[in-house]
Structure 1
Protein backbone atom coordinates (compact mmCIF):
# COMPACT_ATOMS: atom_id res chain seq x y z
CA UNK A 1 0.00 0.00 0.00
CA UNK A 2 1.37 3.44 -0.93
CA UNK A 3 1.81 6.12 1.73
CA UNK A 4 -1.05 8.18 0.24
CA UNK A 5 -3.36 5.19 0.18
CA UNK A 6 -2.43 4.42 3.78
CA UNK A 7 -3.21 7.97 4.88
CA UNK A 8 -6.53 7.94 3.05
CA UNK A 9 -7.42 4.74 4.87
CA UNK A 10 -7.24 6.44 8.25
CA UNK A 11 -10.60 6.91 9.99
CA UNK A 12 -12.52 10.14 9.63
CA UNK A 13 -12.88 10.44 13.40
CA UNK A 14 -11.28 9.10 16.54
CA UNK A 15 -13.70 9.65 19.41
CA UNK A 16 -12.45 9.43 22.98
CA UNK A 17 -15.15 9.02 25.65
CA UNK A 18 -14.65 9.17 29.40
CA UNK A 19 -16.73 6.76 31.47
CA UNK A 20 -19.91 8.04 33.09
CA UNK A 21 -20.13 8.96 36.76
CA UNK A 22 -18.95 6.05 38.88
CA UNK A 23 -19.27 5.03 42.52
CA UNK A 24 -15.77 6.37 43.10
CA UNK A 25 -16.70 9.78 41.68
CA UNK A 26 -19.35 10.27 44.39
CA UNK A 27 -17.81 8.37 47.33
CA UNK A 28 -14.03 8.10 47.61
CA UNK A 29 -14.33 5.73 50.58
CA UNK A 30 -15.47 3.00 48.19
CA UNK A 31 -11.82 2.50 47.20
CA UNK A 32 -11.22 1.10 50.70
CA UNK A 33 -13.41 -1.94 50.03
CA UNK A 34 -13.99 -2.31 46.27
CA UNK A 35 -11.21 -2.81 43.71
CA UNK A 36 -10.94 0.12 41.31
CA UNK A 37 -11.57 -2.11 38.29
CA UNK A 38 -14.88 -3.30 39.78
CA UNK A 39 -16.45 0.10 40.48
CA UNK A 40 -19.84 0.47 38.79
CA UNK A 41 -21.55 3.42 37.19
CA UNK A 42 -24.15 5.25 39.23
CA UNK A 43 -27.65 5.64 37.83
CA UNK A 44 -26.63 9.15 36.82
CA UNK A 45 -23.54 7.74 35.09
CA UNK A 46 -25.66 5.36 33.03
CA UNK A 47 -27.92 8.22 31.99
CA UNK A 48 -24.92 10.39 31.08
CA UNK A 49 -23.60 7.63 28.83
CA UNK A 50 -27.03 7.08 27.28
CA UNK A 51 -27.30 10.78 26.38
CA UNK A 52 -23.76 10.81 24.96
CA UNK A 53 -24.70 7.77 22.87
CA UNK A 54 -27.58 9.68 21.29
CA UNK A 55 -25.17 12.44 20.27
CA UNK A 56 -22.61 10.00 18.90
CA UNK A 57 -25.12 7.98 16.89
CA UNK A 58 -26.22 11.19 15.16
CA UNK A 59 -22.58 12.12 14.52
CA UNK A 60 -21.70 8.69 13.12
CA UNK A 61 -24.77 8.68 10.86
CA UNK A 62 -24.53 4.99 10.05
CA UNK A 63 -20.81 4.96 9.14
CA UNK A 64 -18.67 1.98 10.15
CA UNK A 65 -17.34 1.94 13.71
CA UNK A 66 -14.66 0.07 15.62
CA UNK A 67 -14.42 0.35 19.40
CA UNK A 68 -11.70 -0.07 22.00
CA UNK A 69 -12.79 -0.25 25.64
CA UNK A 70 -10.88 -0.23 28.91
CA UNK A 71 -11.51 -3.50 30.79
CA UNK A 72 -12.74 -1.73 33.93
CA UNK A 73 -16.39 -2.35 34.79
CA UNK A 74 -17.39 1.32 34.60
CA UNK A 75 -15.98 1.72 31.08
CA UNK A 76 -17.63 -1.46 29.84
CA UNK A 77 -20.93 -0.30 31.34
CA UNK A 78 -20.45 3.08 29.67
CA UNK A 79 -19.87 1.46 26.30
CA UNK A 80 -22.99 -0.67 26.70
CA UNK A 81 -25.08 2.38 27.62
CA UNK A 82 -23.81 4.33 24.59
CA UNK A 83 -25.75 1.90 22.38
CA UNK A 84 -23.48 2.35 19.38
CA UNK A 85 -24.01 0.32 16.19
CA UNK A 86 -20.85 -1.76 16.58
CA UNK A 87 -20.66 -5.47 15.80
CA UNK A 88 -19.30 -7.59 18.63
CA UNK A 89 -16.33 -8.63 16.47
CA UNK A 90 -15.37 -4.94 16.14
CA UNK A 91 -15.17 -4.31 19.89
CA UNK A 92 -11.80 -4.83 21.57
CA UNK A 93 -11.41 -4.80 25.35
CA UNK A 94 -7.96 -3.24 25.68
CA UNK A 95 -6.07 -3.44 29.02
CA UNK A 96 -3.60 -0.75 27.96
CA UNK A 97 -6.45 1.77 28.14
CA UNK A 98 -7.11 1.13 31.84
CA UNK A 99 -7.04 3.79 34.55
CA UNK A 100 -3.76 4.79 36.15
CA UNK A 101 -2.96 2.25 38.86
CA UNK A 102 -2.89 3.98 42.26
CA UNK A 103 -2.97 1.16 44.78
CA UNK A 104 -4.95 -1.95 45.65
CA UNK A 105 -7.48 -1.35 48.42
CA UNK A 106 -6.69 2.26 49.25
CA UNK A 107 -5.94 3.86 52.61
CA UNK A 108 -7.60 7.31 52.33
CA UNK A 109 -5.04 9.06 54.55
CA UNK A 110 -2.14 7.56 52.58
CA UNK A 111 -3.68 8.45 49.21
CA UNK A 112 -4.42 12.01 50.38
CA UNK A 113 -0.77 12.44 51.38
CA UNK A 114 0.44 10.98 48.08
CA UNK A 115 -1.86 13.30 46.12
CA UNK A 116 -0.33 16.25 47.98
CA UNK A 117 3.15 14.96 47.13
CA UNK A 118 2.10 14.50 43.51
CA UNK A 119 0.96 18.13 43.34
CA UNK A 120 4.41 19.21 44.54
CA UNK A 121 6.35 16.72 42.41
CA UNK A 122 4.34 16.83 39.15
CA UNK A 123 1.44 14.69 37.95
CA UNK A 124 3.28 13.23 34.97
CA UNK A 125 6.33 11.91 36.81
CA UNK A 126 5.02 11.12 40.30
CA UNK A 127 4.64 7.37 40.87
CA UNK A 128 2.18 6.16 43.50
CA UNK A 129 3.73 3.78 46.04
CA UNK A 130 1.74 0.76 44.83
CA UNK A 131 0.88 2.01 41.37
CA UNK A 132 1.96 3.95 38.31
CA UNK A 133 3.12 7.38 37.29
CA UNK A 134 1.51 9.34 34.49
CA UNK A 135 4.60 8.57 32.42
CA UNK A 136 3.96 4.83 32.89
CA UNK A 137 0.45 5.26 31.48
CA UNK A 138 1.91 7.34 28.63
CA UNK A 139 4.20 4.44 27.73
CA UNK A 140 1.42 1.87 27.55
CA UNK A 141 -0.82 4.28 25.62
CA UNK A 142 2.06 4.65 23.14
CA UNK A 143 2.16 0.90 22.53
CA UNK A 144 -1.61 0.88 22.09
CA UNK A 145 -1.32 3.59 19.43
CA UNK A 146 1.16 1.46 17.50
CA UNK A 147 -1.34 -1.42 17.47
CA UNK A 148 -4.20 0.86 16.46
CA UNK A 149 -2.22 2.32 13.56
CA UNK A 150 -1.56 -1.19 12.26
CA UNK A 151 -5.30 -1.81 12.26
CA UNK A 152 -5.79 1.32 10.11
CA UNK A 153 -3.80 -0.39 7.37
CA UNK A 154 -6.28 -3.24 6.96
CA UNK A 155 -8.74 -3.19 4.03
CA UNK A 156 -11.72 -3.27 6.41
CA UNK A 157 -10.54 -0.30 8.47
CA UNK A 158 -13.58 1.58 9.85
CA UNK A 159 -14.48 5.21 9.17
CA UNK A 160 -14.76 5.86 12.91
CA UNK A 161 -12.93 4.66 16.00
CA UNK A 162 -14.50 5.03 19.46
CA UNK A 163 -12.29 4.65 22.54
CA UNK A 164 -14.02 4.40 25.93
CA UNK A 165 -11.51 5.00 28.70
CA UNK A 166 -10.59 7.27 31.62
CA UNK A 167 -9.94 11.00 31.97
CA UNK A 168 -6.19 10.85 32.56
CA UNK A 169 -5.77 8.25 29.83
CA UNK A 170 -7.61 10.52 27.39
CA UNK A 171 -5.26 13.40 28.14
CA UNK A 172 -2.22 11.16 27.78
CA UNK A 173 -3.54 9.72 24.51
CA UNK A 174 -3.76 13.26 23.11
CA UNK A 175 -0.40 14.22 24.61
CA UNK A 176 1.18 11.31 22.74
CA UNK A 177 -0.81 11.87 19.53
CA UNK A 178 -0.16 15.61 19.27
CA UNK A 179 3.30 15.62 20.92
CA UNK A 180 2.30 17.94 23.74
CA UNK A 181 4.79 19.00 26.39
CA UNK A 182 4.59 17.75 29.98
CA UNK A 183 3.81 21.30 31.16
CA UNK A 184 0.87 21.64 28.78
CA UNK A 185 -0.46 18.18 29.69
CA UNK A 186 -0.33 19.05 33.40
CA UNK A 187 -2.21 22.32 32.81
CA UNK A 188 -5.29 20.52 31.43
CA UNK A 189 -8.38 19.24 33.21
CA UNK A 190 -9.86 15.81 32.69
CA UNK A 191 -13.04 15.77 30.58
CA UNK A 192 -16.34 15.55 32.43
CA UNK A 193 -17.95 12.14 32.94
CA UNK A 194 -19.21 10.67 29.65
CA UNK A 195 -17.79 13.65 27.73
CA UNK A 196 -16.53 12.82 24.24
CA UNK A 197 -13.44 14.42 22.71
CA UNK A 198 -13.43 14.15 18.92
CA UNK A 199 -10.27 14.05 16.78
CA UNK A 200 -11.37 14.83 13.21
CA UNK A 201 -9.24 14.08 10.16
CA UNK A 202 -8.47 17.11 8.01
CA UNK A 203 -7.85 17.47 4.27
CA UNK A 204 -4.09 17.10 4.89
CA UNK A 205 -4.80 13.79 6.74
CA UNK A 206 -3.77 15.29 10.06
CA UNK A 207 -6.16 15.26 13.00
CA UNK A 208 -7.48 18.15 15.06
CA UNK A 209 -9.55 18.19 18.23
CA UNK A 210 -12.99 19.67 17.61
CA UNK A 211 -12.49 21.56 20.87
CA UNK A 212 -9.52 21.80 23.24
CA UNK A 213 -9.35 20.40 26.73
CA UNK A 214 -10.19 22.92 29.45
CA UNK A 215 -6.97 24.47 30.75
CA UNK A 216 -7.01 25.08 34.50
CA UNK A 217 -3.50 26.60 34.66
CA UNK A 218 -3.50 29.63 32.37
CA UNK A 219 0.09 30.48 33.27
CA UNK A 220 1.15 27.71 30.87
CA UNK A 221 1.12 29.18 27.38
CA UNK A 222 0.54 26.57 24.63
CA UNK A 223 3.18 26.39 21.93
CA UNK A 224 2.28 26.81 18.27
CA UNK A 225 2.27 23.01 17.91
CA UNK A 226 -0.07 22.64 20.87
CA UNK A 227 -2.43 25.36 19.61
CA UNK A 228 -2.54 23.66 16.22
CA UNK A 229 -3.97 20.48 17.78
CA UNK A 230 -7.50 21.90 17.88
CA UNK A 231 -9.74 23.51 15.28
Structure 2
Protein backbone atom coordinates (compact mmCIF):
# COMPACT_ATOMS: atom_id res chain seq x y z
CA UNK A 1 0.00 0.00 0.00
CA UNK A 2 2.79 2.48 0.83
CA UNK A 3 1.80 5.87 2.27
CA UNK A 4 -1.51 5.73 4.18
CA UNK A 5 -4.54 7.70 3.05
CA UNK A 6 -5.13 9.03 6.55
CA UNK A 7 -3.33 9.40 9.86
CA UNK A 8 -5.74 9.80 12.76
CA UNK A 9 -4.62 11.20 16.11
CA UNK A 10 -6.86 10.87 19.14
CA UNK A 11 -6.35 12.23 22.63
CA UNK A 12 -7.13 9.84 25.47
CA UNK A 13 -10.38 10.23 27.37
CA UNK A 14 -10.60 12.17 30.62
CA UNK A 15 -8.23 10.69 33.19
CA UNK A 16 -8.12 10.74 36.97
CA UNK A 17 -5.48 13.47 36.71
CA UNK A 18 -7.78 15.69 34.64
CA UNK A 19 -10.39 15.34 37.38
CA UNK A 20 -8.18 15.59 40.50
CA UNK A 21 -4.74 17.24 40.57
CA UNK A 22 -3.87 15.79 43.98
CA UNK A 23 -3.76 12.23 42.62
CA UNK A 24 -0.32 12.98 41.15
CA UNK A 25 1.01 12.89 44.72
CA UNK A 26 -0.05 9.26 45.12
CA UNK A 27 -0.19 7.66 41.66
CA UNK A 28 2.41 7.77 38.87
CA UNK A 29 1.29 9.71 35.81
CA UNK A 30 1.63 6.66 33.57
CA UNK A 31 -0.66 4.61 35.87
CA UNK A 32 -3.62 7.03 35.92
CA UNK A 33 -6.83 5.52 34.60
CA UNK A 34 -9.81 6.87 32.72
CA UNK A 35 -12.70 8.30 34.68
CA UNK A 36 -16.25 7.16 33.92
CA UNK A 37 -16.56 10.23 31.69
CA UNK A 38 -13.29 9.32 29.98
CA UNK A 39 -14.66 5.87 29.17
CA UNK A 40 -17.79 7.47 27.71
CA UNK A 41 -15.67 9.85 25.61
CA UNK A 42 -13.67 6.96 24.17
CA UNK A 43 -16.82 4.97 23.44
CA UNK A 44 -18.39 7.97 21.70
CA UNK A 45 -15.34 8.26 19.46
CA UNK A 46 -15.50 4.58 18.52
CA UNK A 47 -18.42 4.62 16.05
CA UNK A 48 -16.93 7.59 14.16
CA UNK A 49 -13.62 5.79 13.73
CA UNK A 50 -15.25 2.50 12.78
CA UNK A 51 -17.26 4.30 10.10
CA UNK A 52 -14.17 6.17 8.93
CA UNK A 53 -12.02 3.05 8.58
CA UNK A 54 -14.82 0.90 7.19
CA UNK A 55 -13.44 -2.49 6.28
CA UNK A 56 -9.90 -1.18 5.75
CA UNK A 57 -6.84 -2.25 7.69
CA UNK A 58 -5.38 -0.01 10.39
CA UNK A 59 -1.93 0.26 11.99
CA UNK A 60 -2.30 1.65 15.51
CA UNK A 61 0.44 3.08 17.71
CA UNK A 62 -0.50 3.57 21.36
CA UNK A 63 1.26 5.54 24.08
CA UNK A 64 2.31 3.17 26.90
CA UNK A 65 0.25 5.01 29.52
CA UNK A 66 -2.66 3.14 31.07
CA UNK A 67 -5.23 5.76 30.06
CA UNK A 68 -4.23 5.60 26.39
CA UNK A 69 -4.49 1.82 26.24
CA UNK A 70 -7.86 2.01 28.00
CA UNK A 71 -8.97 4.57 25.41
CA UNK A 72 -7.85 2.30 22.59
CA UNK A 73 -9.70 -0.68 24.07
CA UNK A 74 -12.91 1.32 24.56
CA UNK A 75 -12.98 2.39 20.89
CA UNK A 76 -14.27 -1.06 19.99
CA UNK A 77 -12.36 -1.31 16.72
CA UNK A 78 -12.46 -4.51 14.67
CA UNK A 79 -9.43 -6.43 15.92
CA UNK A 80 -9.38 -8.53 12.75
CA UNK A 81 -8.43 -5.43 10.78
CA UNK A 82 -6.11 -3.62 13.17
CA UNK A 83 -2.54 -4.12 14.32
CA UNK A 84 -1.71 -2.29 17.54
CA UNK A 85 1.69 -1.78 19.07
CA UNK A 86 2.98 0.18 22.04
CA UNK A 87 4.98 3.27 21.11
CA UNK A 88 6.79 4.91 24.07
CA UNK A 89 7.79 7.94 22.00
CA UNK A 90 4.12 8.99 21.89
CA UNK A 91 3.90 9.27 25.68
CA UNK A 92 2.87 12.35 27.64
CA UNK A 93 5.38 15.08 28.47
CA UNK A 94 7.24 13.77 31.52
CA UNK A 95 6.83 15.91 34.63
CA UNK A 96 9.20 13.90 36.80
CA UNK A 97 8.06 11.34 39.36
CA UNK A 98 5.31 11.62 41.96
CA UNK A 99 4.65 15.31 42.24
CA UNK A 100 3.86 17.93 44.84
CA UNK A 101 0.68 19.53 43.55
CA UNK A 102 1.54 23.05 44.71
CA UNK A 103 4.94 22.79 43.03
CA UNK A 104 3.45 21.55 39.77
CA UNK A 105 0.86 24.35 39.79
CA UNK A 106 3.68 26.85 40.31
CA UNK A 107 5.64 25.34 37.44
CA UNK A 108 2.60 25.38 35.16
CA UNK A 109 2.21 29.11 35.78
CA UNK A 110 5.91 29.60 35.05
CA UNK A 111 5.53 27.59 31.85
CA UNK A 112 2.65 29.81 30.71
CA UNK A 113 4.90 32.88 30.87
CA UNK A 114 8.09 31.14 29.68
CA UNK A 115 6.58 29.19 26.79
CA UNK A 116 5.25 25.62 26.55
CA UNK A 117 7.86 24.58 23.99
CA UNK A 118 11.01 25.58 25.86
CA UNK A 119 10.00 25.34 29.54
CA UNK A 120 11.45 22.27 31.24
CA UNK A 121 9.73 20.78 34.27
CA UNK A 122 12.12 20.05 37.15
CA UNK A 123 13.32 16.44 36.69
CA UNK A 124 11.05 16.27 33.63
CA UNK A 125 10.88 17.28 29.98
CA UNK A 126 10.37 20.39 27.91
CA UNK A 127 8.07 20.54 24.92
CA UNK A 128 11.24 20.58 22.81
CA UNK A 129 12.19 17.17 24.23
CA UNK A 130 8.81 15.76 23.22
CA UNK A 131 9.27 17.32 19.76
CA UNK A 132 12.59 15.49 19.37
CA UNK A 133 11.21 12.07 20.27
CA UNK A 134 8.16 12.63 18.05
CA UNK A 135 10.63 13.39 15.24
CA UNK A 136 12.39 10.09 15.95
CA UNK A 137 9.05 8.28 15.79
CA UNK A 138 8.29 9.91 12.44
CA UNK A 139 11.50 8.50 11.00
CA UNK A 140 10.30 5.03 12.04
CA UNK A 141 6.88 5.73 10.55
CA UNK A 142 8.35 6.88 7.23
CA UNK A 143 10.34 3.66 6.97
CA UNK A 144 7.18 1.67 7.67
CA UNK A 145 5.46 3.44 4.77
CA UNK A 146 7.92 1.73 2.43
CA UNK A 147 6.40 -1.66 3.21
CA UNK A 148 4.25 -2.75 0.26
CA UNK A 149 1.52 -4.12 2.55
CA UNK A 150 1.37 -1.13 4.92
CA UNK A 151 -2.28 -0.41 5.89
CA UNK A 152 -4.14 2.58 4.39
CA UNK A 153 -4.90 3.94 7.87
CA UNK A 154 -2.74 4.92 10.84
CA UNK A 155 -4.17 5.57 14.31
CA UNK A 156 -2.15 7.28 17.04
CA UNK A 157 -3.64 7.09 20.55
CA UNK A 158 -1.75 9.70 22.49
CA UNK A 159 -1.89 12.96 24.49
CA UNK A 160 -2.89 16.56 23.78
CA UNK A 161 0.54 18.19 23.78
CA UNK A 162 2.02 15.28 21.84
CA UNK A 163 -0.68 15.65 19.19
CA UNK A 164 0.17 19.33 18.71
CA UNK A 165 3.89 18.60 18.53
CA UNK A 166 3.36 15.74 16.06
CA UNK A 167 1.54 18.14 13.73
CA UNK A 168 4.14 20.85 14.35
CA UNK A 169 6.88 18.44 13.27
CA UNK A 170 4.94 17.08 10.30
CA UNK A 171 3.87 20.45 8.90
CA UNK A 172 7.04 22.32 9.92
CA UNK A 173 5.21 24.87 12.05
CA UNK A 174 7.33 27.38 13.89
CA UNK A 175 7.65 27.50 17.68
CA UNK A 176 5.70 30.75 17.68
CA UNK A 177 2.85 29.10 15.77
CA UNK A 178 2.83 26.13 18.15
CA UNK A 179 2.55 28.45 21.15
CA UNK A 180 -0.75 29.89 19.85
CA UNK A 181 -2.52 26.51 19.73
CA UNK A 182 -4.66 24.81 22.37
CA UNK A 183 -4.80 21.11 23.14
CA UNK A 184 -7.76 19.18 21.70
CA UNK A 185 -10.40 18.07 24.19
CA UNK A 186 -10.28 14.59 25.70
CA UNK A 187 -11.45 12.00 23.17
CA UNK A 188 -11.10 14.49 20.31
CA UNK A 189 -9.37 13.69 17.02
CA UNK A 190 -7.38 15.39 14.30
CA UNK A 191 -6.68 13.75 10.95
CA UNK A 192 -3.93 14.11 8.41
CA UNK A 193 -5.50 13.36 5.03
CA UNK A 194 -3.64 12.67 1.80
CA UNK A 195 -4.64 15.13 -0.92
CA UNK A 196 -4.72 14.61 -4.67
CA UNK A 197 -1.23 16.14 -4.91
CA UNK A 198 0.18 13.55 -2.51
CA UNK A 199 0.62 16.07 0.32
CA UNK A 200 -1.17 15.74 3.64
CA UNK A 201 -3.49 18.36 5.09
CA UNK A 202 -5.16 18.69 8.49
CA UNK A 203 -8.89 17.99 8.50
CA UNK A 204 -9.49 20.89 10.88
CA UNK A 205 -7.23 23.30 12.72
CA UNK A 206 -6.42 23.29 16.40
CA UNK A 207 -8.21 25.99 18.33
CA UNK A 208 -6.12 29.03 19.19
CA UNK A 209 -5.92 30.59 22.61
CA UNK A 210 -4.15 33.65 21.17
CA UNK A 211 -3.80 35.23 17.73
CA UNK A 212 -0.24 35.06 16.35
CA UNK A 213 1.67 38.21 15.50
CA UNK A 214 1.42 39.31 11.85
CA UNK A 215 4.84 37.92 10.78
CA UNK A 216 3.90 34.45 12.02
CA UNK A 217 0.48 34.71 10.43
CA UNK A 218 2.22 35.29 7.11
CA UNK A 219 4.39 32.20 7.52
CA UNK A 220 1.34 30.13 8.43
Which residue, out of 18, 21, 26, partners 2:11? Answer: 18
1:115-130 aligned at under 5 Å gives the runs 115-130=108-123
Runs of 4+, deviation exceeding 6 Å: none
How far the C-alpha of 1:219 sits from its partner, in A, is: 3.8
Which residue, out of 72, 77, 80, partners 1:84? Answer: 77
- Does the alignment pair 1:103 with 2:96? yes
Distance in 1, matches of 2:116 and 2:219, equals: 22
**The residue matched to 2:196 in structure 1 has which SS?**
coil
**The residue matched to 2:50 in structure 1 has which SS?**
helix
TM score, norm. by length of structure 1: 0.91
Match of 2:23 in 1: 30
Distance in 1, matches of 2:217 and 2:117, equals: 19
Match of 1:131 in 2: 124
1:1-231 aligned at under 5 Å gives the runs 9-87=2-80, 90-221=83-214, 223=217, 226=220
Give RMSD over aligned pairs: 1.5
Show structure 1 runs of 5+ residues with no match.
1-7, 227-231
Contact kept, 8 Å, 2:57 with 2:152, in 1: the verdict is yes
Show structure 2 runs of 5+ residues with no match.
none
How far the C-alpha of 1:224 sits from its partner, in A, is: 5.2
How far the C-alpha of 1:87 sits from its partner, in A, is: 4.6
Contact kept, 8 Å, 1:65 with 1:85, in 2: the verdict is no
TM score, norm. by length of structure 2: 0.95
Contact kept, 8 Å, 1:66 with 1:86, in 2: the verdict is no
